[in-house]
Structure 1
Amino acid sequence: MSSGSPSRADRLPSTSSTDSGPTDPSLREVADVARELGVDPAVGLDDTEAARRLAADGPNELRSKPPVPLWRKVLDQFRDPLVALLLVAMGISVTVWWVEGADGVPVDALVIVAVVVLNAALGLVQESKAENAVAALRSMTEATSTVLREGRRVTVRSAELVRGDVLVLAEGDAVGADARLVSATALRVQEASLTGESEAVLKDARVLPAAAPLGDRFDMVYKGTAVAQGVGRAVVVATGMATQMGAIARLLDATEEEATPLQREISRVSKVLGLTVIGIAVVVMVLAAIVNDVSSAADLVTVLLLGVSLAVAAVPEGLPAILSVVLAVGVQAMARRKAVVKKLHSAETLGSASVIASDKTGTLTKNEMTIQRVATASGEVALTGVGYRPDGEVRAGPDIDRGGPLEDERLLREVVMVLGGGSLANDAQLVEADGEWTVQGDPTEAAFLVAAHKLAGTVDRVAEFERRGEVPFTSERKLMSALVDPPGEGAWALVTKGAPDVLLARCSAVQVGEEIVPLDDERRATALDAVERLSDRAYRTLGVAYRRVAEGFGTDRLEEHESDLVHLGVVGIIDPPRPEVTAAVAEARRAGIRVVMITGDHPVTATRIATDLGIVERGARAVTGTELDRLDGPGLRAAARTVSVYARVAPQNKLQIVDALQADGHVVAMTGDGVNDAPALKTADIGVAMGVTGTEVTKESATMILGDDNFATIVAAVRQGRVIFDNIKKFLRYLLSSNMGEVCTVLFGVLFAGVVGLEGASGGGAVVVPLLATQILWINLVTDSGPALAMGVDPETDDVMARPPRGMHERIIDARMWTGVLSIGLVMGIATLLTIDIFLPGGLVEGSDSLAVARTAGFTTLVLAQLFNVFNSRSETTSAFHRMFVNRWLWGAVGLGLLLQVAVVQVPFLQVAFGTASLDLAHWGVAVAMASSVLWFDEIRKLLWRARHRGEVA
């Protein structure tokens, strides 16, 4: 184990760890285990005793986290620092309203309350939707187990299994609890969910001779695994949290979840805004008091109200709610693409991913073993079609990948015999239901059935054979044989398939067309060359042979007759890549995201698939789990920088890889399906669980669940995550620059009141400000929430996958954005104050209108400038006219804002409420022209930037 990551990796119950204590059931005779548990394995428990044990030990379920109460969920929605800042602003606003005499309704305070409540409601609704989506991915039926009770076979809920129950196991069953085998006949169990080993493990009831790793305990079966082949019986020794799966589930409580990058950034922005708001309010109030020579209580209240209003204006009240809406919309878009995100803020994190570490089987590949090559004495053919759907054809020729149909009769007969023989020495079944093809049994054996369907008549011919006996596969023999009776031939046949080198050693002849010829050294070398050629191309190879025996041949000790066989040929089998993954990997690489493959398969197979998918270049090599275990911390990090294929890894190695990548500054998305993957998924920045094949423990610990177990779905979710981040930047850019325009207007209006003609404009010596407090609040209502919300669902403006991932320490509001915010805000302030100056007597430009009219014109200019700024803010570098009409919500929000501004200026009762006066067409024309300066200024700025940075991406 690496010394660089002991704090996490050492917590895992490694598959190489051993339980050597005297109570370890794998080291004890089954009779002793049964006696200690008080059960007769031939009879099982009685119902009364089973009920007593269930009441004493509790249900056979993994402990889940207690449901979070509603009050706690509601409280969590208010923990955002920005929400706290808004609540403080609301408190100040209510205090000022009360000091003034509590006249009317505190509109600004009510608006803030509404925003905070809306934000909390959105968060609660989305979390509820995510929980429902996760629940929908679970099995619609309860898991059941067959047990012996009082000598009878009965089916019970797996949750009701107790220690001492005798499990009756058969092909296709899920193992309901940890159990010591009593008997086993050709029993093979898929333990990938627990150990990460893709091959089914052969089980035996003999006592384990010495303590062994979890994956090598052949006399035990474990909860959460599945029977791939054979039958057996086993005594339950552990249930619930006492199982091996439960031991891993307990580790999840010790694995801490970290805040997402977006949560950390919003927290930082909230703190900066809080300090900025306080500073602005104090500066403006002091300047207003100095410039206007405040002496009366009324003037003091006016100045105080101005400062508070400006502080409220500087805080983007709609930010929390808009952020929640944007994330919720993005999460729903991901869900439609089969990616269920459990927490809102995690959606953006996915867009920041710089590494996607993916399983091979089922995610990058179809998890459907497929025969693609058949090599016989007369040549080699290719089979088209992938997966379990039996569509395809047999091709031959010098370039068999592009060859034509197989027409050589001799080669065709040999291929038919190979696929037919492999289908006879076979315990799998191919099943069609509603157009979907699935297999029951070992996937490798099923590959023969699928391939046989691609040769007309082969399956029908095989179906006529009657099985008379069999010799099961064992890891020691590496062979399986079936004794079959071909109808009407007057003789039986022993058909054998297995490891090619082992099988060839038992062969003395070879099938060549219709003839059987001796297997001389030259032909044996040719057969071995074919095996090596297929193996070098990462195919898993299996040989097929047979021998004829007399009708009525005795079935006792059949394996003694697995000799003098006639070699038929070799097949090349592979789990084919998903067809859409190659394009998805290319898209990820274009986006600057490394794709890393992690698999338990052979290094050659892993490298072949990774090369075919474009993950690595030809000639790259895989690093094995054994090699990882020998590396220290610096060595792990060095390997993580360059290695993109890891093979023969144990599940605990995933945690090492995650640690090393994160230590190197990467945002890591990690996929997994087995229970032993759960700690690594929880530690990763984005844990991605398989929704179809993943265990419940894995789904519980993951950030995102794939409804289709498809790598391409992850890349699509990354794109959506980047769009979410872009939209967050858009509305932040818009809100901050617009609010900065309000700040600049008031700040410079107070500071340069004499220059623009405001000083003494009231004629009564009272404090004169460019905008009234109610007008500032109106601007926030009209221009902040609607356009910003519409901008938050803006379609992709720039090509988000044409730039590298956002760095871990890259600010969401960086120096370039702050420059844009300040410059746009300054232009808004200047345009607004110049408009006021144009219509007021005195100042830089001589006007003739009243203060009310001039202020209304300036007020209108600022509102219109912010509506123009909507289009500026869609990109920092791309013209506002690019894809200008793709977002109808944006145009709707701008149109509504314009109508409301017309109403507040022209409707009499609104004029009274907001201190406005009617404007004629000339006033409106000046306001529109001055407001548009914001758009033209930003277009020039973007044009200059693009000229300096040609070829760069925003």
Structure 2
Amino acid sequence: MYYQKSSEDTLLNLNVQASNGLTQDEAKKRLEENGPNTLVEKQRKTILQMFLAQLKDTMIYILFAAAAISVILHEITDAVIILSIVVINAVIGVVQESKAEAALEALKNLSSPTAMIRRNGKVMEISASELVAGDIVILEAGRIIPADLRLLQSVNLKVEESALTGESVPVDKDANFIAAGEMGIGDRINMAYSSTSVAYGRGEGVVVYTGMDTEIGKIASMLNESVEELTPLQKRLNDLGKLLGIVAIVIVAAMFGMALLQGRDIIEMLITAIALAVAAIPEGLTAVVTIVLALGVQRMVKVNTIVRKLPAVETLGAVSVVCSDKTGTLTQNKMTVTKIYLDNQTKDVTELSFDKNTVFVKGFVLCNDASTANNERIGDPTELALLDMGKLVNVTREGLEQTNPRINEQSFDSARKLMTTVHKEDSKVMSYTKGAMDILLGRCSKIYLNGEVTEITDQHKEDINTAASEMARGALRVLALGYKEDDDTANEENLTFVGLIGMIDPPRPEAKDSVRVLEQAGITTIMITGDHKDTALAIAKDLGIAENENQCITGSDLNELTQEQLNDRVRDLRVFARVSPEHKVMIVKAFKYNGSIVSMTGDGVNDAPSLKAADIGVAMGITGTDVAKGAADMVLTDDNFATIEKAVAEGRGIYHNIKKTVLFLLSSNFGEVISMFSAIAAGLASPLQSIHILWINLITDSLPGLALGVDPKDTDIMKAKPRDPNESLFAHGGLIFTVYNGFMIAALTLGAFLWSPIIHLNAEGMAVTLENIKWMLGQTLIVNGADYSIIEHAQTYAFTTLGVSQLFHAIGMRNYDKSLFKMKMFDNKSMIAAFIIGLALQIAVTEIPILTEVFETSQLSLKEWGNLILISMVPLLSHEIIVAGKNLFGKTA
């Protein structure tokens, strides 16, 4: 580890002299041996590969089987319809995926295009890709660091590392530092890392790692190695697809067995059995679920959330742990002065007054190199915070300098830890010094109290140290101010102490409420940050994330733990401070090991691997790096932690709607299977033709299914605990519900199918027996001079009843526990439209001549329609009876 070596040992190890650098020949040789200083990108999928990947799904395989079966049955139209569904579903998936997987490309864009180096004793600028280990790199403010460097020189050098470590402010670097042992990235102050930037000062460093060996390269490797996992819904639908496949095989086998027992024509019965298997497959399910998710994506946009991958919508609804980065996510990513100490009192910054505290305000604003002119924030975050403090009392540096021009200065130095500026002020000279409290206080001989200057005493110093300690315990960064009159030399001795300021990157105002709401919803918020432990814990306590120090752990502590040990400890931890990207992935894995569905939020490059590793990664849209956005499943366009709460609520509502849709489709298809199986088992003709089944599944089912998918979410949805990730779609009575409604729809369909032959048997004075019904179904009568097929009429009755009963069934499916009269029907106008359109389409296929020929249906009279609609209303009537029973039972209990 080069941060544990001296600069001399590092240069010796790399066989290079700092004064001359490498020779061009040696650099060329090393470039050939180790390769260019670039990130290796994982080969991206082609459009064809993405399209084929969408077809690797159990439900899709079943749809292919259904299409093949339709071809065997010479139902080419049916096969075209089914394959169209498959193609539409795959295209939607490709469109979503083609927008993703840009993380490595964004990482490459972060790399510095050029680097200033020394070779052959000459300074030159080359492409960063040509850098090799041993190159001497020259650093200056504004430069992006092109590779991982061991610093050789550092003059007031500060490096902005927030994207890599999560550190709120630029890090002071010290080339002379040598680490005694292992430490986190944020503490290696003698190193500078690729893709970070020089915020202040200058320096030199020797390249120790390039390309994929850099810290940024390690992140790229983790992104490459990550494996896409199935979401809970995908797992449930996969299981369902397998179950339906088994059911289809069992049906074919059972029907084939019945053919042998009943002595039927084997080939004819096999074709019928295959048709029955088609009925078991809800052809529209995959398409409906995909469309519901897509509509959910549009709803998420309204709560400032962009979904990059469709399944992520429902995953967020199952989240039980939100691992959040601190800087810029839970906090504002803006250093802010919150406390001041002057006149022997600690106050809130809002109590500051320019008239009463003129010297205090002038000193901190004038002793400053930052600028906020023209609404542009330029400079060190700490100094910008001081200018913001000035704005609270309507004071700007530019305004003050018009009457208090700077005439001398001593720049900040990391060794002195002080900065001094000298200003002309009317007829006198004022020198202001700011810096580290302990250093500055040691140079003060006087103190400014309530407008008067007196000799500083030990008691004064004790009071100042006490105030500084209280600020530090609150995780505030403390700066002190002193001044001197009538000395234009910028001398920093014999100063007059003025006061202290305490600053911090404060929590977002709305984050505390969001943490509380998530807690009510059974969701634990975890803070993961590269910042210091005290700062992280203070913010966590303020937000209600943690209560005590025992719930906090640091990166150095994590280094001592194995993944298995962390798996055991993680349940009691809430704050992870001073962590590296590897630690973040380790933390996510630990929570997942304990059965949690984990969401990871973040905005920096350092968050990308954990965003990828989590069940759902949520990136910040404004401050987030392209790397984070590329690795995430979702992006918050307003960077607001509170938006996560709204997104979770939407995710829960969407999953609930999908579950309602799935149960609705399955109970409807189960009704089709039972009605056909029962009729054929009894030796009767099939009550439905294959085209009838497809029409019901793709039209009458799908429209209400989509309407259920956009049902408004329950207002109490965030008061429930997260669902068990292993929970079946049939949990909480779903299986009983599906079977019950399936049998009810089957009974209504069979009753309608038998109605016509029974009426004609009665008209002929014949006994209603199974054999007579079979005989009558095979008859063609002459009615009003036209042929009247009994089987066609019976199938029309069954077809119509099945379709319309499912429309009524969908209305009741909106809420299992509420009466129709309490559902606020007009809240879901889509359901009203679906019912009207579905009924109109069903009427069309029985009344429009050209369609009756295609569907082989008979036209019905108004009286027949009235009777069939009354029969079809039974599922809704059943819903009302069950709800009334639940309410009555609940009140009685």
- Whether TM exceeds 0.5 here: the answer is yes
Render the CA deviation track for 1:376-422: whole Å, top value 9, x for unaligned: 11534433xxxxxxxxxx437xxxxxxxxx5xxxxx55633223222
1:901 to 799, 817, 842: 842
Contact 2:3 2:179 in 1 (8 A): no
The one-character-per-residue Cα deviations of 1:360-381 (angstroms, maximum 9, x if unpaired) are 1110010111112222115344
Amino acid at match of 1:358: S
2:870 to 918, 921, 929: 929
Paired amino acid for 1:686: I
Aligned to 1:68: 45
Going from structure 1 to structure 2, the CA distance change for 1:473 and 1:414 (only over 3 Å counts) comes to farther
After TM superposition, the structure 1 stretch with the greater mean CA deviation from structure 2, 618-627 or 335-344, is 618-627
1:786 and 2:763 matched: no
1:502-537 deviation digits (Å, cap 9, x = unpaired): 433332211123321112233333323332343344
Give 1:605-754 correspondences, 5 Å limit. 605-616=535-546, 622-629=552-559, 636-637=566-567, 639-695=569-625, 698-751=628-681
The separation in 2 between residues aligned to 1:706 and 1:824, in whole angstroms, is 41
CA shift in 2, pair 1:154/1:584, >3 Å: farther
User: C-alpha separation between the residues in 1 aligned to 2:31 and 2:621?
Assistant: 30
Q: Write out per-residue CA displacement over residues 616-654 of structure 1, whole angstroms, 9 at most, x where no aligned residue.
A: 458985344444555666764454223323334444433
Q: Report matched runs for 1:348-387 at 5 Å.
A: 348-377=314-343, 379-383=345-349
Match for residue 171 of structure 1? 141
Task: Report the TM-score, using the length of structure 1 for normalisation.
Answer: 0.82
CA contact (8 A) 2:112 2:195 kept: no
Q: Name the CA shift for 1:339/1:259 in 2 (closer, same or farther; >3 Å).
A: same
Equivalent of 2:173 in 199, 203, 212: 203
Deviation, 1:356, is 0.2
**Aligned twin of 1:763:** none
Match of 1:562 in 2: 492
Aligned to 2:523: 593
Distance in 2 (alpha carbons) for counterparts of 1:83 and 1:180: 54
Q: Work out the CA distance in 1 between the residues paired with 2:344 and 2:165.
A: 42
Counterpart among 436, 444, 447 of residue 499 in structure 1: 436
Counterparts of 1:205 and 1:618 in 2: how far apart (Å)? 36
SS class of match (1:665): coil
Residue 505 of structure 2 is matched in structure 1 by: 575
Show the counterpart of 2:202: 231
Q: Distance in 2 between matches of 1:651 and 1:847?
A: 84
C-alpha displacement of 1:891: 3.0
Which letter does structure 2 place at the counterpart of 1:523? Answer: H
Contact 1:288 1:750 in 2 (8 A): no
Distance 1:382 1:660, change over 3 A: same
Please state whether the residue corresponding to 1:361 is helix, strand or coil: helix
CA distance in 1, matches of 2:79, 2:645: 43
Q: 1:146-295 alignment to 2 at 5 Å?
A: 147=116, 158-159=128-129, 167-181=137-151, 183-206=153-176, 208=178, 213=183, 214-284=185-255, 286-287=257-258, 293-295=262-264
Which shows bigger deviation, 234-243 or 721-730? 234-243
1:448 aligned to 363, 372, 386, which one? Answer: 386
1: CA distance, partners of 2:435 / 2:763: 100
Q: Could you tell me how far apart the structure 2 residues matched to 1:347 and 1:320 are? A: 16
Moved more, 823-832 or 795-804: 795-804
Q: How far off is 1:665 after superposition? A: 1.2
In structure 1, C-alpha distance between the alignment counterparts of 2:647 and 2:544, rounded to whole Å: 20
Change (3 A) 1:530 1:215: closer
Structure 1 pair 519–717 and aligned structure 2 pair: CA distance change class (3 A): same
Q: What does 1:454-469 correspond to in 2, within 5 Å?
A: 454-457=392-395, 459=397, 460-462=399-401, 464-469=404-409
Match of 1:389 in 2: none
SS at match of 2:328: coil
**Cα displacement (A) at 1:251:** 3.8
1:28 aligns with 2:9: yes
**What secondary structure, in the 3-state scheme, does the structure 1 residue paired with 2:377 have?**
strand
Q: Is the 8 A contact 1:188 1:202 kept in 2?
A: yes
- Whichever structure has more helix as a proportion of its residues is 2
1:832 paired to 2:749 = yes
Is residue 2:780 matched to residue 1:863? no
Matched residue of 2:327: which SS?
coil
1:329 aligns with 2:302: no
Q: TM-score, normalising length from structure 2?
A: 0.87
How far apart are 1:918 and its partner, in Å?
A: 1.4
Q: Contact 1:597–1:644 at 8 Å: present in 2 too?
A: yes
Provide, for residues 453-496 of structure 1, a one-character-per-residue CA deviation record: whole Å limited to 9, x for no partner: 2223463224533152314242x65x312131324344351x32
Q: Report the equivalent of 2:814.
A: 874
**CA-CA distance at 1:571 after TM superposition:** 1.2
The gaps in structure 1 that reach 5 residues or longer are 1-17, 98-104, 384-393, 397-405, 407-411, 556-560, 754-766
Q: 5+ residue gaps in structure 2?
A: 766-787
Aligned equivalent of 1:852 = 792
The alignment partner of 1:259 has SS state of coil
Whole-Å separation in 2 of the counterparts to 1:798 and 1:846: 56
Equivalent residue letter for 1:324:
T
Q: Distance in 2 between matches of 1:117 and 1:866?
A: 27
Corresponding letter in the other structure for 1:260: T
State how 1:65-144 maps to structure 2 within 5 Å: 65-97=42-74, 105-130=75-100, 144=113
1:890 counterpart residue number: 831
Of 316-325 and 731-740, more deviation after overlay is shown by 316-325
* Identical positions, percent: 37
- Separation (CA, whole Å) in 1 of partners of 2:55 and 2:536: 48
Displacement of 1:819 in angstroms is 1.0
CA contact (8 A) 1:465 1:487 kept: yes
Q: CA deviation at 1:736?
A: 0.3
Q: Secondary structure at 2:596's aligned position in 1?
A: coil
Report the CA distance between 1:332 and its aligned residue: 4.3
Spell out, residue by residue over 1:550-584, the C-alpha distance to the aligned partner (whole angstroms, 9 max, x if none): 33x2x6xxxxx533221111112121221232332
| Contact kept? 2:104, 2:220, Cα under 8 Å | no
Structure 2 SS opposite 1:796 = coil
Matched, 1:517 2:454: yes
Q: Out of 628-637 and 910-919, give the one that drifted further.
A: 628-637
Structure 1 counterpart SS, 2:198 = strand
What is the alpha-carbon root mean square deviation over aligned residues? 3.7
Answer yes or no: is the 8 Å Cα contact 1:25–1:33 preserved in 2: no
1:28 alignment partner, SS class? helix
Shift of 1:768: 2.4
Question: C-alpha displacement at 1:844, in angstroms?
Answer: 11
**Deviation, structure 1 residue 798:** 5.9
Q: Which residue of 2 aligns with 1:803?
A: 720
User: What is the alpha-carbon distance in structure 2 between the residues aligned to residue 66 and residue 873 of structure 1?
Assistant: 46
Distance 1:862 1:788 in 2: 15
CA contact (8 A) 2:604 2:624 kept: yes
Deviation at 1:820, TM superposition (A): 0.9
**Alignment partners' CA distance in 2, 1:798 and 1:140:** 44
**CA drift at 1:342:** 3.6
Question: Is the 1:368–1:576 Cα contact (8 Å) retained in structure 2?
Answer: yes
2:387 is paired with a residue of what secondary structure?
Answer: helix
Structure 1 residues 702, 903: CA separation in 2 closer, same or farther (over 3 Å shift)?
closer
Q: 2:366 aligns with which of 424, 439, 451?
A: 424
Of residues 200-209 and 832-841 in structure 1, the stretch that sits farther from structure 2 once superposed is 200-209
Looking at structure 1, the residues matched to 135 and 677 of structure 2 have their Cα atoms a distance apart, in angstroms, of 80
